[in-house]
Structure 1
Amino acid sequence: MTDITIKTQPSERSKFIRRFLKRKTVAAGMIVLVLFVLLAIFAPLIAPYSPSKLSIVNRLKPPSELHWFGTDEFGRDVLSRTIYAGRLSLLVGAAVMSLSAVIGVTLGLLAGFFKQLDTPIARLIDAMMAFPEILLAIALVAALGPSLTTVIIALSVVYAPRLARTVRASTLVIRELPYIEAAKALGISTPHIMTRHVLRNLISPILVQGTFLFASAMLAEAGLSFLGLGVSPDIPTWGTMISAGRQYIGQADWMTLFPGFAIILSVLSLQMVGDGLRDMLDPRLRRDL
């Protein structure tokens, strides 16, 4: 008898992941991003000290074996505070991305699918995008009062128009395709067409825009915290750490160097992952890979 060897073909998902991670920049971005996520999740186990532990005797100590990133003006360990600050930045980024997606996708679908709603929603999107993003965020936080919830809501309102414009533009094209007309002729309900036939074809641009919104939200949160409009000063954030360290530049550069480096690495890793997703999910760019 002859042996029959059955070769299993790799699934489309596994092939996509392999092609996605084949690019060195994307792989590096994913490694850095996963590292930040793990540090945030296991911060109580990884951080050598409590982020709020004061030690005036050890204030403004340079990096050493006991304090790898040095200490701040109150003797708190900069490494521990940098690790804990990453938890808040990732939380804000994920929350803003999710809430912006809900608002932006809803507005974009309504504007792109219903012609009578297109003009008013499109004008609303244009009006919101006419304001500089950071100034609009500052105005909203100042009006509502600084807090974590306020920061998330303000940044979601600021970044939702980006996604809404992308979804609207794609929906305007999809709604004219033959299979949408066929679904309408068959009597399929409008909500079913919008979710099953339109929204499913928008997953790719939404994912790509989501990664960029994540990075932008983390950067904006750091900016608001730097200006004193973020969360409570008792909670460590990269922005508040840089703000506190600016008056000690030249005397204790490590207070701004390490949290600033953390912001750069996290935002850059998200941008690299977003670029990789865009290249893989766009058929025109994928042919060139």
Structure 2
Amino acid sequence: MSSNSPTTRAAQAVPPSTAAIAVGSDLGSDRGRLWRSLRRNPLGLAGGVLLIIVLFVALFAPLLAPYDPAEVHFDTPFQVPGTVGFALGTDDLGRDILSRILYGTQASVQVGLLSVALAIVIGAPLGLLAGYWRWLDGIVSRLTDVMLAFPFLIIAVGLAAINGASLGNAAVALGIAQIPTMIRVVRAETFRVKELDYVLSAQAMSAGPTRILGGHILPNIVSAIIVQATVIIPVAVIGEAILSFLGLGIQPPGSSLGIMLSDAQQYIFRAPSAAVFPGLAIMVICLAFNLFGDALRDALDPSSARK
């Protein structure tokens, strides 16, 4: 290429240091706009605080729990909340409800994060490719339809029959169930972004598909993937509780909010707190992710930049 070509002159016109400063200022501006948008959303801030608390509990559950969740106290069953030594009471075996909830929260967050990681690792690349190449879209769309035909309960039953019920199998079943949704979200965003001017300009300059997908399209749909992840995690938390309730998820003596609900149904009228507190824990976890996810979606909305 000649040294006097338009491309070369354009590259020489902007010194590298100036370009780096411009990129840095854009990133700083985006972070500032995101923070300002979140500050203007009280529900989003509340969701963020709840989310921090949930993640803190999940990370430090072994340090926060006063007892081992499987430790039984046969001399103190059905203790009411507020009993000395048992802040939330005990169940039929005298196990501390608070300790079981803390460990159950840890298990729920683990399943949520594992399932969303699986959905992103498999679903995002497929959606990206399907949105960029029309000929591949038909194949991926049919694959998505096939996956939607199998509810996560069927997948969980199959995995439990092969490998036994466990936290890992529950996360895999829930992650597989969320792959079609992730594919559709990424595919739709790819369709939208690939028609924008900067992508068309890159194609006109003979940029390869790998550079366009990895350097231009993917960075501009990451926000949609993050928001979708905040939607998937609460669904996975509820799904894990359902699977454990049915005996297809975490197995005793492991602690799960679903197992606690399953055990508590036998003595719901004698010790309602054994069912109420795990249910509230599930609600708080899902509420935290949903509120923060909604606020994040609004903050990342391009139209919010004009506000």
TM over 0.5: yes
Unaligned runs of 5+ in 1: 1-9
The residue that corresponds to 2:4 in the other structure is none
1:180 aligns with 2:199: yes
The aligned length equals: 279
TM-score norm. by structure 2 comes to 0.85
For residues 49 and 252 of structure 1, the distance between their equivalents in structure 2, rounded to whole angstroms, comes to 20
Aligned residue among 45, 60, 71 for 1:42: 60
The one-letter code of the counterpart of 2:171 is I
Deviates more, 1:141-150 or 1:117-126: 141-150
Distance 1:142 1:275, change over 3 A: farther
The one-letter code of the counterpart of 2:204 is A
Distance 1:132 1:99, change over 3 A: closer
Aligned residue among 208, 213, 216 for 1:189: 208
For residues 44 and 193 of structure 1, the distance between their equivalents in structure 2, rounded to whole angstroms, comes to 46
Unaligned runs of 5+ in 2: 1-27
The one-letter code of the counterpart of 1:207 is I
Return the offset for 1:185: 3.2
For residues 90 and 30 of structure 2, the distance between their equivalents in structure 1, rounded to whole angstroms, comes to 49
Return the offset for 1:141: 4.2
Tell me if the contact between 1:142 and 1:229 (Cα under 8 Å) persists in the aligned partners.
Answer: no
Alignment of 1:220-231 (within 5 A): 220-231=239-250
The one-letter code of the counterpart of 2:71 is K
For residues 145 and 39 of structure 1, the distance between their equivalents in structure 2, rounded to whole angstroms, comes to 28
For residues 260 and 15 of structure 1, the distance between their equivalents in structure 2, rounded to whole angstroms, comes to 36
Q: Matched residues, percent identical?
A: 39
Alignment of 1:240-279 (within 5 A): 240-279=259-298
The one-letter code of the counterpart of 1:204 is S
The one-letter code of the counterpart of 2:170 is V
The residue that corresponds to 2:5 in the other structure is none
Tell me if the contact between 1:138 and 1:224 (Cα under 8 Å) persists in the aligned partners.
Answer: no
The one-letter code of the counterpart of 1:29 is G
SS in 2 for 1:188: coil
Return the offset for 1:82: 0.5
The residue that corresponds to 2:224 in the other structure is 205
The one-letter code of the counterpart of 1:205 is A
Cα RMSD (Å) of the superposition? 1.9
The one-letter code of the counterpart of 1:56 is F
Return the offset for 1:28: 1.0
Return the offset for 1:182: 2.8
Aligned residue among 115, 133, 141 for 1:114: 133
1:59 aligns with 2:96: no
Deviates more, 1:87-96 or 1:137-146: 137-146
TM-score norm. by structure 1 comes to 0.90
For residues 150 and 68 of structure 2, the distance between their equivalents in structure 1, rounded to whole angstroms, comes to 40
Return the offset for 1:173: 2.5
Alignment of 1:71-220 (within 5 A): 71-220=90-239
For residues 211 and 32 of structure 1, the distance between their equivalents in structure 2, rounded to whole angstroms, comes to 14
The one-letter code of the counterpart of 2:136 is L
Return the offset for 1:186: 2.4
1:108-138 deviations in Å (ceiling 9; x for gaps): 0111111211101112112322444445544
For residues 12 and 110 of structure 1, the distance between their equivalents in structure 2, rounded to whole angstroms, comes to 27
1:33-90 deviations in Å (ceiling 9; x for gaps): 1111112222222211121111111112222132111111111100011011111111
For residues 160 and 137 of structure 2, the distance between their equivalents in structure 1, rounded to whole angstroms, comes to 29
Tell me if the contact between 2:128 and 2:190 (Cα under 8 Å) persists in the aligned partners.
Answer: yes
Return the offset for 1:161: 0.8
1:83-113 deviations in Å (ceiling 9; x for gaps): 1111111111111111111111011011111
Distance 1:23 1:115, change over 3 A: same
